Structure 1
Amino acid sequence: MKAAREARSAAVVINAGSRRGAASTELAVDAMRRAGVPVRSVHPVKSGTELFQTLRRVVADGHDLVVVGGGDGTMTSAAGLLAGTDIMLGVLPLGTANDFARTLEIPGGLTEACAVIADGKVVDVDLGWANGEPFLNVASVGLSVGVTEALSPRLKRRIGSLAYGIATMQAYARHKPFRARLEFPEGDHEPMELEDVLQVAVGNGRHYGGGNIVSPMAGIDDHTLDIYAILAAPLREHVKIARLLKDGSFIEHDRVYHLATRRVRLVTEPPLSVNLDGEIAAVTPADFSVQRNAVHVIVPQSSNSASFEGPSRH
């Protein structure tokens, strides 16, 4: 199935707890039905547990299109359940960062996103896995975990993406460097021992953190993981690195290591929490892998972010 218009039955699941979710359900459903999307069931949810249970239920109900409204964490939950199936994923970006939608060039406006679901094309995207937990954009340890912990839902609702800057400053002030070891089960790189690390990230997608780029060559359908490690340095050097995050050129800084692989094991001292698309969902040591062509996603006809190759099983 390569065209969204071929869908026979659609379920809509919207995270009412996301930044714009509560006010969007009725508007989105009306817009999609007017555009010809065969919406058969609608499910507003308010918690992560309810979201997961509802997604499992609609997947089992036999729909060939599941439209999900929420932020990046919501999209990752959906992708983990849809991976390896023939079900299409429609994206309504209702969160704060919406990096998955940004990577796929899906518009942020609700009406425009609904139009994409009605008239878009279907592409395949890869899905990253960390200790059996999925991620679409980036998995990371170190500073980013502190940022996530400082990002309260109230702050995100009040000031949107500006909350990331405030949370980053708070996390940086509290951060303690750590040791990391990177091991490569496929033997494509020698093991790496790193001291005084600020952050290690494993990227499946292209965008993260409200528009930052993992690396200039990163893509969500390239079947590889982009890994970078930022070492501790004087504040002025981290400011330089931060200014280069938006175009990915920070990987050229001499306090940054970057490489690409399909599988990696990360061991840290001390053991650390792992941030998966804004959710703390694993702990090191962590094994990372990529499932190619895992999820079929509807994107704009004009999007060049990914292509359609056919299903892959994990």
Structure 2
Amino acid sequence: MDKIALFYNPVAGGGTFHTRLDTIISIMQEAGLQVVPWRIRNNKQLLTDMAAMDLEGFHTIIAAGGDGTVHGVVNAMMHLGIKVPLGIFPIGTANDTARNLGISTDLEGYCRVITDGQAEPVDLGKINQSYFINIASAGFMTEVAHQVSPKSKNLLGKGAYYLSGALKLSEMKSFELRVEVDGQSFICNAFLFLLLNGKGAGGFNEIVPTAAMQDGLLDLMIIKDGSPAQLLSALRKSLVGEHLEDSVIIYVQGKKFRLETTPNIETDLDGEAGHPLPWDIEVIKHGIQVRVP
């Protein structure tokens, strides 16, 4: 019987995932798969825990939680050189990575991705010695996201981010951003930058509608310093997918980037606090196999 390692975040999804374990185990056993569950304490400890386990030869390694949980499992797998397909049980707040890959948030749906889906190659971004599967960002909304408590996320879901952001709008401050992308460079004043592997993040599904997680490219979107009227105009255009042409938006694709800011600001990798800038970034084409529908 093939084995599945199930690494789950006990506080994600309101802390109720443990109530689903029996159903999950039943579905997997019917498909001839044995579930080996592991309760995640934190992402730093996860690397040590996975290193002590013999996971090579497993059918799938599942990350059950939100985007931060997926980030932790992906980084542990990459640092340990584990070549096993990744599965995602999206039980967190935004679940951007799963959404970009078409993975259902329904229990039956995400289980069937493991039993019946295909393992497909997916790109990764590498920043210094860390990896991200969906997004690396810094600026206004990044700072807001880090101030939202787990209790608020469980209570309000994605609305917790939007509410916190609305309350902090008057505190928006721009920063100087220096960008190098595939040998070209420029400088601008910005409120926020998003370096994306997938189409969406933060619950916004079409930030870069043409982005693909298998194309060997990363997509950089910068929101420049602008007036409230300019920013509102860009927001309205985003509702119909026309924002990338707006005057306060810079959009470029590339394989290698260097990003620096003045002053230094908070950063984020897949929903987790990121490393300080400057960043040297490269895309790892088809860096990991992921089970998808």
Q: Is TM more than 0.5 here?
A: yes
Task: Pick the aligned partner of 1:158 from 155, 173, 197.
Answer: 155
Alpha-carbon distance change, 28 to 248 in structure 1, aligned in 2, over 3 angstroms: farther
Give the Cα–Cα distance (whole angstroms) in 1 for the partners of residues 279 and 108 of structure 2. Answer: 40
Task: Pick the aligned partner of 1:178 from 175, 179, 198.
Answer: 175
Give the Cα–Cα distance (whole angstroms) in 2 for the partners of residues 100 and 200 of structure 1. Answer: 18
Alpha-carbon distance change, 58 to 253 in structure 1, aligned in 2, over 3 angstroms: farther
1:92 aligns with 2:89: yes
- Answer whether contact 2:260 2:278 (CA < 8 A) is retained: yes
RMSD: 2.1
**SS of the residue 1:214 aligns to:** coil
Aligned to 1:198: 191
- Per the TM alignment, residue 62 of structure 1 is displaced from its structure 2 partner at its CA by 4.5
- Answer whether contact 1:216 1:249 (CA < 8 A) is retained: no
Aligned to 1:288: 281
**SS of the residue 2:2 aligns to:** coil
Give the Cα–Cα distance (whole angstroms) in 1 for the partners of residues 103 and 49 of structure 2. Answer: 24
Which deviates more, 52-61 or 167-176? 52-61
Amino acid at match of 2:179: L
- Answer whether contact 1:121 1:299 (CA < 8 A) is retained: yes
Alpha-carbon distance change, 40 to 154 in structure 1, aligned in 2, over 3 angstroms: closer
Aligned to 1:228: 221
Give the Cα–Cα distance (whole angstroms) in 2 for the partners of residues 64 and 117 of structure 1. Answer: 9
- Per the TM alignment, residue 56 of structure 1 is displaced from its structure 2 partner at its CA by 3.6
Alpha-carbon distance change, 288 to 59 in structure 1, aligned in 2, over 3 angstroms: farther
Give the Cα–Cα distance (whole angstroms) in 1 for the partners of residues 239 and 2 of structure 2. Answer: 39
1:12 aligns with 2:9: no
- Answer whether contact 1:102 1:211 (CA < 8 A) is retained: no
1:47 aligns with 2:42: yes
**SS of the residue 2:114 aligns to:** helix
Aligned to 2:104: 107
Which deviates more, 18-27 or 132-141? 18-27
- Answer whether contact 1:43 1:54 (CA < 8 A) is retained: no
Matched ranges for 1:239-250 at <5 A: 239-245=232-238, 248-250=241-243
Residue deviations 1:224-282 (CA, integer Å, cap 9, x gap): 01011111222232233234446653211111110100011011111222211111121
Give the Cα–Cα distance (whole angstroms) in 2 for the partners of residues 202 and 42 of structure 1. Answer: 33
Task: Pick the aligned partner of 2:246 from 253, 273, 292.
Answer: 253
- Answer whether contact 1:64 1:86 (CA < 8 A) is retained: no
Aligned to 1:269: 262
**SS of the residue 1:49 aligns to:** helix
**SS of the residue 1:191 aligns to:** strand
Residue deviations 1:92-134 (CA, integer Å, cap 9, x gap): 0010000111011110111211111111111110011122211
Give the Cα–Cα distance (whole angstroms) in 1 for the partners of residues 32 and 91 of structure 2. Answer: 19
**SS of the residue 1:271 aligns to:** coil
Amino acid at match of 2:62: V
- Per the TM alignment, residue 148 of structure 1 is displaced from its structure 2 partner at its CA by 1.5
Task: Pick the aligned partner of 1:22 from 6, 13, 16.
Answer: 16
- Answer whether contact 1:99 1:210 (CA < 8 A) is retained: yes
**SS of the residue 1:183 aligns to:** strand
Give the Cα–Cα distance (whole angstroms) in 2 for the partners of residues 203 and 276 of structure 1. Answer: 10
1:135 aligns with 2:132: yes
- Per the TM alignment, residue 59 of structure 1 is displaced from its structure 2 partner at its CA by 5.8
Alpha-carbon distance change, 122 to 62 in structure 1, aligned in 2, over 3 angstroms: closer
Gaps of 5+ in 1: 1-6, 301-314
**SS of the residue 2:89 aligns to:** strand
Aligned to 1:76: 71
- Answer whether contact 1:223 1:262 (CA < 8 A) is retained: yes
Give the Cα–Cα distance (whole angstroms) in 1 for the partners of residues 240 and 212 of structure 2. Answer: 13
Give the Cα–Cα distance (whole angstroms) in 1 for the partners of residues 143 and 131 of structure 2. Answer: 20
- Answer whether contact 1:180 1:267 (CA < 8 A) is retained: yes
Amino acid at match of 2:159: L
- Answer whether contact 1:28 1:111 (CA < 8 A) is retained: no
Which deviates more, 250-259 or 206-215? 206-215
How many residues align structurally?
Answer: 290
Amino acid at match of 1:227: L
Alpha-carbon distance change, 148 to 211 in structure 1, aligned in 2, over 3 angstroms: same
User: Percent of pairs identical after alignment?
Assistant: 27
